[in-house]
């Protein structure tokens, strides 16, 4: 199974966003490592719950930054977050009831995080940086 590692291309230059992204990557890595080592099912369920709750927190935090600074693409970015949370909830449910396998969830997480960070979040960070100057 794949894992996710922090890459320089994920850096947005906004310390708050980058710190939260690093935590997200750590949670995904812990989840993948636990699964790869045939970890305890209760621990895996708990890590999935942590991942979902952290994603909810992070998205709320990012959206508050957008509101606070009048980010013009707020609605689009928020909808991306809403879709991601719905998809994550569905995949966790499907995994729990064995409709999908773990690799399916893992692949989704890695791909979504990578794409969203280097597109949407970099745009947001650039806007925040420009506004600060």
| pTM score | 0.89
Q: For residue range 65-93, what is the model confidence (pLDDT) as tens digits?
A: 999 999 999 999 999 999 999 999 998 88
Q: How many CB atoms lie within 10 A of CB 80?
A: 18
Write down the pLDDT at residue 2: 64
Domains (ranges, CATH) in the chain? Answer: 14-132 (1.20.120.50)
What does the pLDDT read at residue 101?
79
Intervals of the chain under pLDDT 70: 1-2, 100
Q: Are 81 and 41 in contact (CB under 8 A)?
A: no
What is the per-residue pLDDT for 1?
52
DSSP line for 11-70: --S-HHHHHHHHHHHHHHHHHHHHHHTT--HHHHHHHHHHHHHHHHHHHHHHHHHHHHTT
Q: In angstroms, rounded to a whole number, what is the distance separating the alpha carbons of residues 118 and 104?
A: 22
To which H or E segment does residue 81 belong? helix 74-96
């Amino acid at each position: 199974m794949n894992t996710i590692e922090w890459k320089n291309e994920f850096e947005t230059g906004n310390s708050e966003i980058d710190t939260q992204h690093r935590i997200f990557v750590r949670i995904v890595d812990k989840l993948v490592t636990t699964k790869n080592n045939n970890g305890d099912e209760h621990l895996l369920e708990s890590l999935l719950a942590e991942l979902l709750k952290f994603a909810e927190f992070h998205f709320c935090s990012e959206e508050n930054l957008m509101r606070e600074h009048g980010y013009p693409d707020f609605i689009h970015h928020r909808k991306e977050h809403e879709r991601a949370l719905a998809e994550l909830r569905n995949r966790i449910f499907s995994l729990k009831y064995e409709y999908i396998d773990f690799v399916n969830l893992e692949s989704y997480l890695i791909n979504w995080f990578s794409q969203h960070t280097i597109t949407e979040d970099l745009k947001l960070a650039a806007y925040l940086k420009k506004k600060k100057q």
